[in-house]
């Protein structure tokens, strides 16, 4: 029973997201024009294997090249695939988020009735910061400053 409720909740959420998406994209025009069916595949950069449960976030872009309010999040299936129908032609910002991978972001021009986009996520890179290096050096200096010769034991 709870599985049916979860599926129903996801379907309602997607429906509400689609309504918000179309509202955000309807910028002053009653006729939205041509629409595209978008298909995404998310894979690992180094071996091409699919990534399941990756968040594919779609953001409409306004006429003055700014990210519009609203947007929609899709999740990839076991084969790394997801998609949505009825995306209006025009600029679209796509972000892909998945723990353990670098965040992906790129703008696309939606201009065909069917679009397939393959996104290759990379491994995270090590991050270095000056403050981390300084703190590490400081700890080493503090340790050296705090070192003292052991006290001689006095016979009792």
CATH number, domain with residue 84: 2.60.40.10
The predicted structure's pLDDT at residue 108: 96
The range of the structural domain enclosing residue 44 comes to: 2-121
48 is a domain residue: yes
Burial class (CB in 10 A: 0-12, 13-18, 19+), 152: exposed
Which stretches in the chain have pLDDT values below 70?
1-31, 132-156
The predicted structure's pLDDT at residue 136: 46
The predicted structure's pLDDT at residue 127: 78
140 is a domain residue: no
Q: For the whole model, what pTM was predicted? A: 0.63
Q: What's the domain count of the chain?
A: 1
């Amino acid at each position: 029973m709870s599985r049916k409720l979860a599926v129903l909740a996801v379907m309602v959420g997607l429906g509400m997201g689609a309504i918000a998406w179309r509202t955000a994209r309807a910028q002053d025009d009653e006729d939205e024009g041509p629409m595209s069916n978008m298909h995404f595949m998310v894979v690992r950069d180094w071996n091409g294997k699919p990534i399941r449960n990756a968040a594919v976030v779609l953001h409409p872009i306004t006429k003055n090249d700014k990210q519009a309010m609203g947007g929609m999040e899709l999740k990839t299936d076991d084969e790394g695939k997801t998609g949505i129908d009825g995306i209006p032609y025009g600029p679209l910002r796509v972000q892909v988020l998945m723990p353990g991978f670098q965040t992906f972001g790129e703008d696309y021009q939606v201009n065909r009735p069917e679009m397939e986009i393959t996104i290759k996520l990379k491994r995270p890179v090590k991050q270095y910061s000056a403050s981390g290096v300084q703190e590490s050096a400081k700890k080493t200096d503090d340790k050296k400053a705090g070192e003292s010769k052991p006290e001689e034991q006095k016979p009792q």
